[in-house]
Amino acid sequence: MKNLMVITMDKSYLLQVAESKVSYHKKQAKMAYEEKVKIIIELQKIKNEFLLKHGKNTTSNMNVWRIQL
């Protein structure tokens, strides 16, 4: 039986990663609303493309917004 190498991660490193994620999401939350709307439209496109590729239909209330930004 091969020797298995167990990789352990330093607890402080994991905490640092978690804090960094929180800090990233907080920063994203503070983004200008106008930028957030652009992101929402991109997410609508991605979700609809994904559903289409997986043979699932989007419903009539899932249209990508055609709005002037």
Partner 1 sequence: MKKTLQKINDLVEKKIIEKYAIAGGMAQFYYIEPSVTYDLDLIVHISGEENNLNPLSPIYYWAEDNGYKTEGEHIIIEGMPVQFLLAYNELIEDALLNCAEITIFDEKTFILRAEYLMAIMLQTGRMTDKERLARFFVEAEFNKEKFLELIKQFGLQEVYEKSYGDNNG
The contact set with partner 1 (CB under 8 A) reads 22, 25-26, 28-29, 31, 33-34, 36-37, 39-40, 43-44, 47, 60-63, 65-69
- 35, 51, 55 from 59: Cα distances, Å: 26, 11, 13
Cβ 14 to partner 1 shortest distance, Å: 17
Enter the tokens of residue 59.
Answer: 């419903």
Nearer to partner 1, 25 or 56 (CB): 25
Of the pair 6, 69, the CB lying nearest partner 1 is at 69
CA–CA dist 32, 69 (Å, integer): 13
